[in-house]
């Protein structure tokens, strides 16, 4: 099964050479990514705060190790006007990344729709982070197309 999985990853990576699906490395590593943050109907960002607290508790328990860090893929329309979740995520030392304006299959959008949504979410996240550090994008449902 492992060989079949690796063959699939390699095949998809060849079709989309600019996307990162797999990177061979020699050290043991885990990438902690949080998708669809914050939850759309989660007033007070309680779900995202629960994740932040869980990672912080892990980091306190295993303080002798390098602290765990996560990348939070943010859907910009899920951010409420009074939300402070972006600065809170950053204060915990985690990374903010782009997951678009709405949670949909971005590969089905026209190139113009995709570009508009990508840029709109990116600009909103730059405004909220105060930094030019948004370096990752995850498309809805994980599907890419050649135009993207």
Between residues 112 and 12, which one has the greater pLDDT?
112
Q: Residue 59: which CATH number?
A: 3.20.20.370
Task: Put residue 44 in one of left, alpha, beta given phi > 0 → left and psi -120 to 50 → alpha.
Answer: left
User: Does position 2 have pLDDT exceeding 70, yes or no?
Assistant: no
Q: How much of the chain, in percent, has pLDDT values that exceed 70?
A: 89
Q: What does the pLDDT look like over 8-53, one tens digit per residue?
A: 767 767 776 666 666 677 887 777 899 888 887 777 898 999 999 9
User: Does position 1 have pLDDT exceeding 60, yes or no?
Assistant: no
CB 121 within 8 A of CB 130: no
Q: What pLDDT score was predicted for residue 124?
A: 95
Q: How many beta carbons lie within 10 A of that of residue 143, not counting itself? A: 11
Number of domains in the chain: 1
Answer whether residue 15 is part of any domain. no
Answer whether residue 125 is part of any domain. yes
Answer whether residue 12 is part of any domain. no
Instruction: Provide the residue range defining the domain that includes 62.
Output: 20-142
User: Does position 87 have pLDDT exceeding 90, yes or no?
Assistant: yes
Answer whether residue 50 is part of any domain. yes
Whole-angstrom distance, CA of residue 78 vs CA of residue 42: 9
Q: What pLDDT score was predicted for residue 132?
A: 81
| pLDDT classification of 56: cutoffs 50, 70, 90 | very high
């Amino acid at each position: 099964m492992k060989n079949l999985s690796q063959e699939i990853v390699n095949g998809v990576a060849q079709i989309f050479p600019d996307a990162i699906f797999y990177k061979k490395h020699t050290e043991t590593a885990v990438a902690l990514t949080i998708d669809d943050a914050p939850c759309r109907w989660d007033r007070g960002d309680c779900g995202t705060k629960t994740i932040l607290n869980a990672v912080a508790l892990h980091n306190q328990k295993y303080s002798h190790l390098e602290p765990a860090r996560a990348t939070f893929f943010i859907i910009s329309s899920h951010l409420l006007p009074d939300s402070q979740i972006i600065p809170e995520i950053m204060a915990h030392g985690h990374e903010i990344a782009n997951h678009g304006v709405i949670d949909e299959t971005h590969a089905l959008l026209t190139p113009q729709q995709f570009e508009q949504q990508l840029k709109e979410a990116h600009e909103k996240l730059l405004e909220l982070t105060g930094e030019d550090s948004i370096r990752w994008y995850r498309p809805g449902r994980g599907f890419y197309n050649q135009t993207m």
